[in-house]
Amino acid sequence: LFVGCRPWALGRLPIEDRPRSLVQLQLRASTMAALTVCGIAAIMLQQVAGNSLYLAKLCRGHTCKDPKFPILDYVLAEDRCVCRGNPCWDADGVRHACTELDFPYLKFFFDQPRRLSCGCSSRPYYDSLHISKDLCPGHHCDEASLPVLDWDEDAGSCLCRSHPCDEVDGI
């Protein structure tokens, strides 16, 4: 098809001088490579720390791949990590959902007496039931720069921290 052209040499030609189909192939290849790198980075970021650093320590190596049970959590009574669904998907028989474009993400927290509250947020994020119900009832993090409810094991207290992915070497 490309008589007298070696594929390795085509990369040195200006784009306008390359055969059109080859330019399209090279653009597709570079786009696919970029998407692959981004996809791998996203997977690595999901597996590096999760959201809560305390939970990441407890559940190191665990992941949740079933979209019906996306929340990695810890069950204190059983001393094990589990994957859970959002508790607002079935809150006393009510399936909560968010339909407003500005607030499309279902959010939950537990008040001081450990009653579930469901609402909608502009940011995608799942808290750990263990942290929000067992360790930090009544606490929730609304500040955009500190959205993650976490447990400080050393201080024995709740805190809001930035999402681990917000601090990964410029990504």
pLDDT in tens, 96-126: 999 999 999 999 989 999 999 999 988 887 8
- pTM for the full predicted model: 0.65
DSSP designation for 50: -
Q: What is the mean pLDDT of residues 143-170?
A: 85
What's the rounded Cα separation, in Å, for the pair 6 and 129? 59
Task: Find out whether 55 and 83 touch, Cβ atoms under 8 Å.
Answer: no
**Burial zone of 162 (CB within 10 Å; 0-12 exposed, 13-18 middle, 19+ buried):** middle
Q: What is the mean pLDDT of residues 90-94?
A: 91
What pLDDT, on a 0 to 100 scale, did the predictor assign at position 136? 96
What pLDDT, on a 0 to 100 scale, did the predictor assign at position 170? 59
Q: What is the mean pLDDT of residues 16-23?
A: 52
What's the rounded Cα separation, in Å, for the pair 166 and 171? 8
Residue with tokens 């980075």: 41
Identify the band that residue 8 occupies on the pLDDT scale cut at 50, 70 and 90: very low
What pLDDT, on a 0 to 100 scale, did the predictor assign at position 9? 38
